[in-house]
């Protein structure tokens, strides 16, 4: 299927207290995303730290987001390395009102391409919602190849692929094979511009936690064909993007949100707080971004 997502999908952090999820801050984050034009939010993706959340916390986050995301579409991360558990989570997300599913490739087990096809077929068969495959081999150890995605694109409710392989040659080949069947989504902020220019319809973004309006503007400029203006804006965004990935996501973006005044708490162990040199890098990147963003207009 095509046409499910267009524009900016913020891969939302999960704010924590020492005792659980900080729903007051989650409300503030969702309100800001809607106010500044995000088209959708994705909860319980990599940035949301679901691997260290209890089942009850995940359900509570989905319920809360559904009630507070306004006109934005709600995408829920449900993938995992246990297919039966992923199917159950996918059905739960559907029952709680998700608009779509984001399903990472199975990790650690390192299944074959045939295993990936079987996995996504079961997830897609479990619900009628649009399902987005999520390819991030640096974190999972599994690479969803273009020929495999071409086969998955034939599934009626396979909406597209969040591509975070970092391999533009692979991304372009995937785009060629799925064009007109399902959509391509940029899964890395640093490659959002070229992926959108190659026909991607949305960016599932980490940096839009910080400045959703500017990421929204970037997508709009590309869709309008104004690549000169898009490149000027992207030039300003890139140092901030670099700071957001100076350590493993979501360590840096949570530190940045704290610097912007949001009580998101620390990442959960085994993730740690941002190292001092990278915190200095983030502070400088935020100051530079805020000083330079005006020149893009």
- What span, in angstroms and rounded, lies between the C-alpha atoms of 93 and 99? 9
CA distance 14 to 136: 20
| Residues paired with residue 135 on neighbouring β-strands, in sequence order | 163
From the candidates 119, 120, 134, 185, which is the catalytic residue? Answer: 134
Q: How far apart are CA 244 and CA 208, in angstroms?
A: 11
**Burial readout 201-229 (b: 16 or more C-beta within 10 A, e: otherwise):** bbbbbbbbbbbbbbbbbbbbbbeeeeeeb
Could you give the CA distance from residue 182 to residue 3 in angstroms, rounded to a whole number?
A: 8
Q: How far apart are CA 73 and CA 53, in angstroms?
A: 22
| Residue that has been written with the tokens 């993706």 in this structure | 45
Q: Residue 231: which H helix or E strand, with range? A: helix 227-244
User: Active-site residue among 58, 73, 162, 254?
Assistant: 162
**Annotation says 108 is catalytic:** no
The yes-or-no answer on residue 120 being catalytic is no
Q: Which residues are catalytic?
A: 134, 162
């Amino acid at each position: 299927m095509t046409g499910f997502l267009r524009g900016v999908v913020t891969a939302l952090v999960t704010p924590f207290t020492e005792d659980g999820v900080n729903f007051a801050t989650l409300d503030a984050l969702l309100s800001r995303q809607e106010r500044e034009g995000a088209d959708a939010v994705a909860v319980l993706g990599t940035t949301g730290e679901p691997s260290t959340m209890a089942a009850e916390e995940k359900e509570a986050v989905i319920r809360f987001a559904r009630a507070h995301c306004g006109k934005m579409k709600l995408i829920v991360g449900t993938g995992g390395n246990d297919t039966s558990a992923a199917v159950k989570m996918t059905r739960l997300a559907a029952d709680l009102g998700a608009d779509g599913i984001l399903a990472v490739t199975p990790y650690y087990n390192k299944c074959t391409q045939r295993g990936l096809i079987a996995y996504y077929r079961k997830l897609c068969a479990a619900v009628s919602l649009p399902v987005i495959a999520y390819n991030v081999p640096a974190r999972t150890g599994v690479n969803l190849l273009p020929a495999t995605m071409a086969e998955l694109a034939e599934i009626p409710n396979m909406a597209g692929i969040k591509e975070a392989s970092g391999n533009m040659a692979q991304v372009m080949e995937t785009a060629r094979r799925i064009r007109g069947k399902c959509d391509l989504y940029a899964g890395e902020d640093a490659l959002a511009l070229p992926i959108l220019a190659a026909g991607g319809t949305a960016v599932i973004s980490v940096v839009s936690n910080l400045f959703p309006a500017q990421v929204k503007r970037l997508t709009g400029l590309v869709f309008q064909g104004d690549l000169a203006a898009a490149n000027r804006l992207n030039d300003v965004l890139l140092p901030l993007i670099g700071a957001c990935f100076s350590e493993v996501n979501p360590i840096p973006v949570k530190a940045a949100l704290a610097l912007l005044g949001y009580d998101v708490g620390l990442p959960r162990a085994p993730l740690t707080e941002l190292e001092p040199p990278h915190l200095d890098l983030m502070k400088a990147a935020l100051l530079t971004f805020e000083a330079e963003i005006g020149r893009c207009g």
